[in-house]
Homo-oligomer: A and B are copies of this chain.
Amino acid sequence: MIKKSLDTSILLGIYEAATKLVSKNVEFVEKAGLSNQQWIILIYLAKDPNLPYLIREKHEKPMMASELANALGVTRANITNLINVLLEKKLIKQVEDADDRRIKRLMMTPKAEKLIKTMQPNRLKSNKEHLVGLTIKEKKEFLSYLQRITKNIMDS
């Protein structure tokens, strides 16, 4: 009934890859006592230069909750909850902005920096395995296509 379509195959393919990826990542993420979302927030605060969002727009000042909500595509209320958990775990701290007193800037604690540092080798090893067999040229080409597709999705 539903016909074969290259477009649809690609998009369902991206969805499946992401799903499998998250369940693989869980292995080293929950070994660190984190949920996937908590982990994502931490790498945002660590300013991981591989994050598409940070590639697209540079951030000088530490991020605030509403930027995070926007980047992750969720509500501010949701971010508040996630932040509370990370605060309890003493992995982040909030610093009031001097210029705008509505804003609280989010920063990692030394504990979080240390945690990320210890996770990084496993993370890189895992990521490398996921791309084994592709040449640098192929990877660059793939990333370039992916960025074009992502831009399309966001602009639509």
Contacts and interface: CB of A to CB of B under 8 A. Distances in A.
Interface of A: 1-24, 43, 46-53, 55, 72-73, 113, 116-117, 120, 123-124, 126-134, 136, 138-143, 145-150, 152-154, 156
B52 A127 contact: no
A136 B39 CA distance: 37
11 contacts: A5-B127, A9-B55, A10-B139, A11-B127, A11-B130, A12-B51, A15-B21, A15-B22, A129-B156, A132-B152, A142-B142
Copies of this chain assembled into the complex: 2
Nearest to A108: B1
B148 A145 contact: no
